[in-house]
Amino acid sequence: MEPLPRGPGRAAWPLTCLVLLSLRGWPGMDAQVGQGFKVQQPQPKVLVTAGETLNLTCTTSGDGPAGAVKWLKGWGSGNETVYDQTASFPRVTRAVSGSDTDFSIHIRDVRLEDAGIYYCVKFRKALGGVDEPFQHGNGTAVSVHARPTSPVVSGPDHRVTPKQSVPFTCTAGGFFPENINVKWLKDDSPIPDQQSQITPGQTKSSYNMSSTVLVTLQENDVRSQLVCEVRHSTLTDPLRGVYPLSRALRVSPSVHVVPDPPSPVEVNKTVNFTCHVDGFYPKGVAVTWLENGVEIKVENVSQPMETSKGLFRLRSLVQVQATEEKNGSAFTCRVVHDAWDSINRTATLQIAAPAREGQSDWPQTDNENLLLIYIVVGVVCTVLALLVAAILCLIRAKQSKGKSSPSARLHEPEKSSEATTQESDPNNLTYADLNFDRERKTIRRMVEMSQQSEYACIQTSQAPTGDDNLTYADLDMVHLSKAPRRPAPRPEEAGSEYASVQIPRK
């Protein structure tokens, strides 16, 4: 018996192997090979907040065809690959790295656009080297809720003065669901809001909030705060937005100028003009000095100081030499606060006249009035003094007439020829009334007379009993004034010592 040829039989075995291998690419053959393979995706729904990490679970069991396991967002033509073992995805990592059965992933920093249905898919290699889906899980529906943003409070675009009402607005977003509660506070005291609005956000799963309140500012609101407090079911603690009212407030300063010493001042004295700028906010202020409208340089510039109420104050000083040329000069303090209109306050330098004896350094007008008063008072006092002196003289004259004179010697100056010629009337007699204090004299004095003397001896009505009762008068060249003729005086009382002497002119 001849042996069978070995060539043809031996060549048939490689062909059979190729046929068997090619049969694996047919669906029927894959089904037979993948019997018992399962993709398990146990999470039907997942709720996550934006910014958090999304955990998606996927495991496999049994033997599957050759191919990778991928995560897809969506199914069909519009799907998106979320994770692939052969590619890099920055926000996605495997829960168990290198595992052949656990294909769970973590997606960190979830965004609102990450919402959708995620599938864990087993791929197989097809003819031509193209992977095609073999089996996938049931899918996990992912909902992303927006994370609420911190409230932002906005105020007016420019500063306002006290007593004005100003609107403030609080805005926040990323809320789901839309049940949002807003509360306004001013220094921990609640105030009612005027208007609140809830509007949809960028996605259907978020809402935005806007609330407005009207506040009347006060001067002492520099240290006050306005708070917008937002409460939501997804928040454990309320979100707060804070607005310092000092950002919206402007308090204008009070300005006045004080000279030291006050006017009027002496010549060449140094006068300090101080500009008081009080109670202003904010602290931005500019101070300039002007003399008669012309700006002057000030070396010492002080800085604003904060008060207990949060306001500011400032002192600006300028020194001036009080010369006569500067008398009546106006010194103006100009204050520009917060780049708004300027405030001007002026003080005038008044120089007093030099001090004189008994006078004060008062203004010229007051000196003139005072001088006039002095003159009137002096005239009145002089007239009163003269009247008093005249009254005293009359009183003394009357008192002296009641006393007697023991003796008197009257001397008459030499008579001129002119005077002699004028005395042609024999009836024109000159007389003198003598009334002197009593003086004791001896009889010997009576004979002491010259040849030109005209002597008269006068006695009282009673007879003299001794030398003490003798009264006489020596007339020695007496120049007696003329007087119209008049009758002789009547006799005086017995107790008086009076003599009337009439002497005819020679």
Quote the pLDDT of residue 484: 54
Quote the pLDDT of residue 402: 58
Quote the pLDDT of residue 450: 42
Q: Are β-strands 165-175 and 207-216 bridged in parallel, bridged antiparallel, or unpaired? A: antiparallel
Quote the pLDDT of residue 339: 81
Quote the pLDDT of residue 258: 95
Predicted confidence band of residue 267 (pLDDT cuts 50, 70, 90): very high
The three-class DSSP label of residue 461 is: coil
* Element at 275 (helix H, strand E): strand 270-280
The three-class DSSP label of residue 375 is: helix
Backbone angles phi, psi at 285, to 5 degrees: -145, 145
Q: Edge-to-edge strands of the sheet including 165-175?
A: 152-154, 165-175, 207-216, 195-200
The three-class DSSP label of residue 297 is: coil
What's the average model confidence in pLDDT over 149-170? Answer: 94
Quote the pLDDT of residue 365: 54
For 17-21, 333-337, 352-356, which range has the lowest pLDDT when averaged over its residues?
A: 17-21
DSSP-assigned beta bridge partners for residue 191: 184
Predicted confidence band of residue 177 (pLDDT cuts 50, 70, 90): confident
What's the average model confidence in pLDDT over 123-128? Answer: 82
Task: Write down the residue that tokens 């004179």 correspond to.
Answer: 405
Residue 482's CB is within 10 A of a number of other CB atoms, namely 13
| Alpha helical stretches, state H, 258-352 | none
Q: How far apart are CA 456 and CA 473, in angstroms?
A: 6
Share of the chain above pLDDT 70, in %: 68
- The model's pLDDT over 442-471, given as tens digits with 9 standing for 90+, comes to 444 444 444 444 444 444 445 444 444 444
Q: How far apart are CA 379 and CA 487, in angstroms?
A: 44
Quote the pLDDT of residue 222: 94
What's the average model confidence in pLDDT over 403-428? Answer: 44
What's the average model confidence in pLDDT over 473-481? Answer: 45
- What is the DSSP secondary-structure string of 240-254? EEEEEGGGTB-BPPE
Quote the pLDDT of residue 503: 52
pLDDT of residue 150 exceeding 70, the answer is yes
The three-class DSSP label of residue 384 is: helix
For 24-28, 36-40, 230-234, 261-265, which range has the lowest pLDDT when averaged over its residues?
A: 24-28
Quote the pLDDT of residue 403: 53
CA-based R_g, the chain, Å: 68
Output 379 or 470, whichever has higher pLDDT.
Answer: 379
Q: Are β-strands 330-337 and 285-291 bridged in parallel, bridged antiparallel, or unpaired? A: antiparallel
Question: Residues 315, 274: contact at Cβ < 8 Å?
Answer: yes
Quote the pLDDT of residue 189: 92
Predicted confidence band of residue 170 (pLDDT cuts 50, 70, 90): very high
Please name the residues in contact with 494: beta carbons below 8 A apart, sequence gap of 6 or more: 460, 461, 462
- The model's pLDDT over 18-34, given as tens digits with 9 standing for 90+, comes to 333 343 444 444 445 55
Quote the pLDDT of residue 398: 82
Question: Residues 175, 208: contact at Cβ < 8 Å?
Answer: yes
Quote the pLDDT of residue 224: 95
Q: How far apart are CA 93 and CA 80, in angstroms?
A: 17
Quote the pLDDT of residue 121: 94
Q: How far apart are CA 304 and CA 314, in angstroms?
A: 5
Quote the pLDDT of residue 472: 45
**Cα dihedral angle (483, 486, 491, 497), rounded to 10 degrees?**
0
pLDDT of residue 45 exceeding 90, the answer is yes
Output 13 or 104, whichever has higher pLDDT.
Answer: 104
Task: Provide the whole-model pTM.
Answer: 0.52
The three-class DSSP label of residue 381 is: helix
Output 491 or 249, whichever has higher pLDDT.
Answer: 249
pLDDT of residue 409 exceeding 60, the answer is no
- What is the DSSP secondary-structure string of 322-341? --GGGTT-EEEEEEEETTS-
Q: Is 188 exposed, middle or buried (0-12, 13-18, 19+ CB in 10 A)?
A: exposed
- The model's pLDDT over 478-498, given as tens digits with 9 standing for 90+, comes to 444 444 555 555 554 444 444
